[in-house]
């Protein structure tokens, strides 16, 4: 799905509301509604956001009272490789596959006012 046409591309804007650069867009893959719904259903059925039974490591961080630098530092210090592909579901019709580097860069819009789980295909870790 073209990045510029995606309904939730606003998530990948910088602090000045500029859309992600082409270099960043090349690391962000918006999913079609059907693919997003599949990922959403999988996440809900498996209980990814509420279960530690699928993961070797679970790390929880409350960003409610943290500034952006603290959040970015927390994510960076998890030691997840920048090029690792990550799954994020926002709604049943909105989901992305992106590199972990993009998770850190756009954390200001990914982690706000609600719980957000990010996970990889191996289910070996879950920063929540």
Q: How far apart are CA 35 and CA 93, in angstroms?
A: 8
| Per-residue model confidence (pLDDT) at position 123 | 66
| Per-residue model confidence (pLDDT) at position 1 | 72
- Note the pTM of the prediction, 2 decimals: 0.84
DSSP letter, residue 32: P
Within its chain, how far is the Cα of 111 from the centroid?
A: 8
| Per-residue model confidence (pLDDT) at position 125 | 61
The pLDDT tens digits of the residues spanning 53-102 come to: 666 667 777 777 788 899 899 999 988 999 999 999 888 999 999 999 99
Mean of all residue pLDDT scores within the chain: 83
């Amino acid at each position: 799905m073209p990045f510029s046409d995606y309904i939730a591309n606003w998530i990948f804007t910088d602090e000045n509301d500029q859309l992600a650069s082409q270099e960043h867009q090349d690391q962000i893959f918006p999913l079609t509604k059907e693919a997003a719904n599949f990922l959403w259903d999988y996440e809900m059925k498996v209980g990814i956001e509420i279960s530690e039974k699928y993961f070797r490591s679970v790390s929880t961080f409350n960003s409610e009272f943290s500034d952006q630098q603290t959040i970015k530092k927390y994510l960076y210090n998890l030691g997840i490789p920048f090029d690792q592909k990550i799954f994020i579901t926002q709604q049943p019709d909105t989901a992305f596959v992106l590199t972990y580097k993009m998770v850190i860069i756009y954390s200001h819009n990914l982690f706000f006012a609600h719980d957000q789980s990010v996970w990889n295909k191996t289910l070996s870790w879950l920063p929540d």
